[in-house]
A and B are shown apart, each in its own frame.
Chain A
Amino acid sequence: MKDIYCLAIESSCDETSMSIIKNGIEEIETVTNTQIDIHKSFGGVVPEIASRSHIENVTIVLDELFQRSKISMSDIDIIGVTYGPGLIGSLMIGLQCAKTISLVTGKPLIPVHHIAGHIYANNLEKRLEFPLIALVVSGGHTDLVYMKEDYSFKKIGSTLDDAVGEAYDKVAKVCGLEYPGGPLVDKLSKLGRDTYDLPMPLDDDSYNFSFSGIKSAVINVIHNEMQRGNEIRVNDMCNSFQERVVSVIVKKTMRALSEYNVNNLVLAGGVAANSYLRERLEEETNKNNINFSYPKIKYCTDNAAMIGAAAYYAYQKGKIADLTLNAVAVDTLYNEE
């Protein structure tokens, strides 16, 4: 079969990323411009500033990708692009760029859902095996997804309020940690102990999650302690929070594997970089003889390599968009069977 080279573009939040991926499994080259330092002083991503940065960088990233990969546009077979979900103004830049490339070169435009990308980040390590359960954990998502085959997604559970990464970042913020604080919570947690009496997140028979309760509890405890003039033991707070959150996620994930009778688990999304979550899942999957894979750290955060991997399988399934493909802030990947 002929090799398929995908030029992939991802700009859903604060990273302008482009990549060339061969046959959905092999990363040829990726160039990413991150804006993290720009947004740090605001304590979060400012959409208008993100959009302005994307447009300044869009052709520069594209050019650097071709320079570095020594591949030319004529070698490219398909254009994969994140169309959503994400920040509309940010998505728009990558999308217009991709559509223009498709318009000028006539190459097919493949719409890729951002979460499909995160799941397929695992495919760059090792070919996905089906059926599988994907645990998608990021700043915008906490989902359990069942996949019976390539590019088929069925959601079996999801967060009812805050995404797990969002809860981590908010807890980090009230603890006075620098943005983005989620990874710091994981780090400091290792130095602390589980001493704060926080409520457990939703721990019922469903596969849904809820993290706003425990997040609010952290905020309340910190405010009360501050009013009393007591010192906050930040490391202990991080540990108490992380312990409960990870326990519930691991418990529900393991139950899903058993109830759906699935032997493959993949971890995806920015919070897949969380070391404690990886460790705990590794332990449990080992015990239960489950194949567990998680992406390299560089594929956990937003990147175009994962979009290029997913685009290949979307293309195999005949998902080709015309030039009226639009960016969407909120969109469900699921029931794309």
Chain B
Amino acid sequence: MISLFIDTSTKNVSISIVKDDKILSLIQEEICNEHSKYATSYVKKVIDEANIDANDLDNILVVTGPGSFTGVRIGVTIAKTYGYLINKEIIAVSSLKSLALSVSDKDIVMSVIAANKSSYYVGVYDSKYNDIICEQCVSNTRLLELIDEYNPYIVSDNFNVLGRYKFNKVNLDILKIVDYYKDKDTINYHALVPNYLKLPQALENK
């Protein structure tokens, strides 16, 4: 079972080829605003390094958000097009749950990704990675309330401090994410869209 994993939802880009329970190739890099330039070339690189043919994939997993709107669209467009070309359905991965999956042995994990200066995407998970609250976009104040309520271990895509709380930056554990999602529902490439969790500004103000 050969899987391609793509995450371009934050500035930490992860692109990898996983075969069964082994990483064949992996690029994990912090790149700012250059996702558009490098993402497909990285996909090519991991395929070449894994020594497989572009048509050999059994699975395509892509992080559909929430995160940077443009960033998410880059990965999702690649996944949709790739899926169409090799006629494979796609597995949509949550950016927030990916962060939670990358830590172990915590009772309650909260994943936080900054949406902008004053709001955050947040998810709260139990030790089996089930959603305790549904993933959502919240204000500073609401995030602090949630932290007080759940007293979670907090992970983020970036080092960050909010009030007296420190967010722990984690690198994605690709094997664990792929393993968790491998039996989850797939979605047709035509129907796959980003999970923005936020309206465009033009609609928010309407």
Cβ-defined contact, A97 with B77, below 8 A: yes
- Encoded as 1 (CB less than 8 Å from any B CB) or 0, chain A from 90 to 125 comes to 001101110111111110000000000000000000
- Bound-state CA distance A51–B202 (Å) is 13
- Encoded as 1 (CB less than 8 Å from any B CB) or 0, chain A from 34 to 65 comes to 00000000100010110110011011101100
Give, as a whole number of angstroms, the nearest-CB distance from A201 to chain B: 32
Cβ-defined contact, B85 with A326, below 8 A: no
Decide yes or no: A100 and B36 within 8 Å by CB, A60-B190, A92-B73, A93-B73 being known contacts.
no
- Bound-state CA distance A227–B74 (Å) is 49
Interface size bucket, A side?
35 or more
Tell me the dominant secondary structure on chain B's binding face.
helix
Cβ-defined contact, B81 with A48, below 8 A: no
Decide yes or no: A104 and B55 within 8 Å by CB, A48-B202, A55-B76 being known contacts.
yes
Give the A-B pair count, Cβ closer than 8 A.
98
Cβ-defined contact, A100 with B82, below 8 A: yes
A41 (CB) vs chain B CBs: closest residue: B206
B55 (CB) vs chain A CBs: closest residue: A104
Give, as a whole number of angstroms, the nearest-CB distance from A66 to chain B: 10
Give, as a whole number of angstroms, the nearest-CB distance from B179 to chain A: 25
- Bound-state CA distance A192–B200 (Å) is 40
Q: Is A191 an interface residue (CB 8 A)?
A: no
Decide yes or no: A326 and B36 within 8 Å by CB, A55-B76, A55-B194 being known contacts.
yes
B8 (CB) vs chain A CBs: closest residue: A96
Give, as a whole number of angstroms, the nearest-CB distance from B159 to chain A: 28
Cβ-defined contact, B40 with A59, below 8 A: no
Residues of chain A with a CB closer than 8 A to B104's CB: none
Q: Is B201 an interface residue (CB 8 A)?
A: yes
Interface size bucket, B side?
20 to 34
User: Which of B37, B43, B77, B80 counts the most A-chain CB atoms under 10 A from its CB?
Assistant: B77
Q: Is B96 an interface residue (CB 8 A)?
A: no
- Bound-state CA distance A101–B40 (Å) is 10
Decide yes or no: A62 and B194 within 8 Å by CB, A48-B69, A51-B70 being known contacts.
no
Q: Is B146 an interface residue (CB 8 A)?
A: no
Give, as a whole number of angstroms, the nearest-CB distance from A45 to chain B: 10
Q: Is B78 an interface residue (CB 8 A)?
A: yes
Q: Which of B1-53 contact A (CB under 8 A)?
A: 34, 36-41, 43-44
- Bound-state CA distance A286–B189 (Å) is 53
Decide yes or no: A323 and B41 within 8 Å by CB, A59-B81, A63-B190, A100-B82 being known contacts.
yes
- Encoded as 1 (CB less than 8 Å from any B CB) or 0, chain A from 13 to 26 comes to 00000000000000
A-B contact pairs, 24 of them (CB 8 A): A46-B200, A49-B202, A49-B203, A51-B69, A51-B70, A52-B193, A55-B77, A58-B80, A59-B84, A60-B190, A63-B84, A63-B190, A92-B74, A96-B40, A97-B80, A99-B40, A100-B78, A102-B40, A103-B40, A103-B44, A104-B85, A106-B54, A323-B40, A326-B36
Interface residues of A (CB under 8 A from B): 42, 46, 48-49, 51-52, 55-56, 58-60, 62-63, 73, 88-89, 92-93, 95-97, 99-106, 322-327
Nearest 3 interchain pairs by C-beta: A48-B200, A100-B81, A323-B41
